[in-house]
Structure 1
Amino acid sequence: MENAKLGTRASLITISVNIVLCIFKMLAAFLGKSSAMLADAVHSLADILTTVMVIIGLKVSSKAADTTHPYGHEKFEPIFSKIMSFILIFTGASIGYRALMDLVSGNLNYPGRIALIAAAVSIFVKEFMYWYTIKIAKKIKSVTMETDAWHHRSDALSSIGTFLGILGARMGLKVLDPIAGLLVSFLIIKIGIEYYLKSINELVDHSAEDNIIRQIEYIASNVPGVINIVNLKTRSFGNKVYADIEISVDGDLTVNEGDKIAENVHGLIEDNISDIKHCLVKLKPK
């Protein structure tokens, strides 16, 4: 619940900054007559929509288990991440289509200075927002928020392309303005596809990261009474992990003694690895 509050607060801050930045870039695009800046502004508008999705995703995925969802709601987060990926892909395709039409029709403008200034401001603001959001995302282990952070980074990179395109157009190469818009669209689509694939991994029974598996093996093997680890299976569940571990113990132990060892393994793994949502321990007498 604390992670959800932290993520929501960070998202509300980025939404506020994005709204101001989006309005500024929209005005700069129309006043400066720049298709590249218009593409950049639409990208920022998509940022606002995806950050709203982050807030909804964090709120839903942090809900406690209930009778309808006895294993919790963590898998709702990658579902929202998939929706955000679709928004990115659609946004990129729309921007690319408009830029391509400008190139085909020869509708080339001389962009104003305000468009260049807006691009420069966007580069610095969006890069700052990336580092701020990615720090929070890593802390609370949120794939949806990480997607949003890279959305900020993509906006910063697209603003660099926008800046160079507008600068080149102002120097006489007007064709660079719509070309910059087209490049921005490809970048957005690429990031959208990458995070769509990442969200798919979060929804299937994908094994945990190697470092988590090593931690589980180290903790279990050092519990008194454990002879060795017979089998270990892990699966991701949203931003959490389920672990099934089978340990070998002395066959001459009583049932209570064996249960005590299993309880120790279970407790130490769940208490010391924050990513673990549940650990199931099975005994195999030797």
Structure 2
Amino acid sequence: MTDTSEPYDAVVVGAGPAGLTAATYLARFRRRVLVLDGGRPRAAWIPESHNTPGFPQGVGGTELLRLLRLQAEEFGAAIEAGRAERLSPTEAGFRLHLADRSLEAATVLLATGVADHLPQIPGLDQAIGASLVRMCPICDAWEAIGARLAVLGEGPLAQREADFLRPYSEDVTVLMLGEAAEAPPETVSIALDQLRFEEREVVLAQTGGEAERRFDHLYLALGCTPQVGLAEGLGARRDEAGALITDTHLMTTVEGLYAAGDVVRGLNQISVAVGEAAIAATAMHNRLRGR
């Protein structure tokens, strides 16, 4: 089914911090903008962030997203549930193909984020919600000062994350899936079925009669995959980590196609995402003005 309504000035794909911030800017530029909300964004996992600017007492991810959505809608941005399955070029911009319809837009912003590589451990979602499992030491290492920490990984990323955490705690153990060849001290080779979550602790059940080990927090260092499929379909270039390459105005290597947030670079910070969204939205507005 095709949407025969007037084309949008901009369609934003993704309703996380980057997408909703861009929508606010575009709406305030008096642009006809639509946000496609493809489901629960990564930011919704955050139990409470204390490094998000403007929230000295902390803010939960769900509450932050609610406020960002409210702000975008206040200025007239439309936000609809929907997932773009494909992008194709048109003479005036782009056609976005959804499961049940298609839309046209002069410009498109991809705020599609990344997909984390998550371990298959029973109760993982609840453990993330309780801050037993953490995803981002840049975000919350301060809250882990002096705690018993474990880092779960498969290679050098785990060691780098452990090194980042050691100024915050003297008790940091790397839990390496598989064999930890030539691993430094405080590295333990494990299998996932040795891990379990209790109410306030992460427990590593040892084998061979060894005593179990307990941690206050488990950091995941298993990597993530940028969600770049829509851009790839148009031939957009990616960097060595798979993220989209953009210019200083956040336009990808495809004219009129912009990107912001985790899909662009690996820092994966809310403040970076909203800053990029502001830059991209302003560039989109200026591009439309030039027409």
Is the TM value for this pair above 0.5?
no
Pick the structure with greater CA Rg.
1
Q: TM-score range by the shorter chain?
A: under 0.3
Calculate the TM-score normalised by the size of structure 2.
0.24
Calculate the TM-score normalised by the size of structure 1.
0.24
More strand by percentage: 2
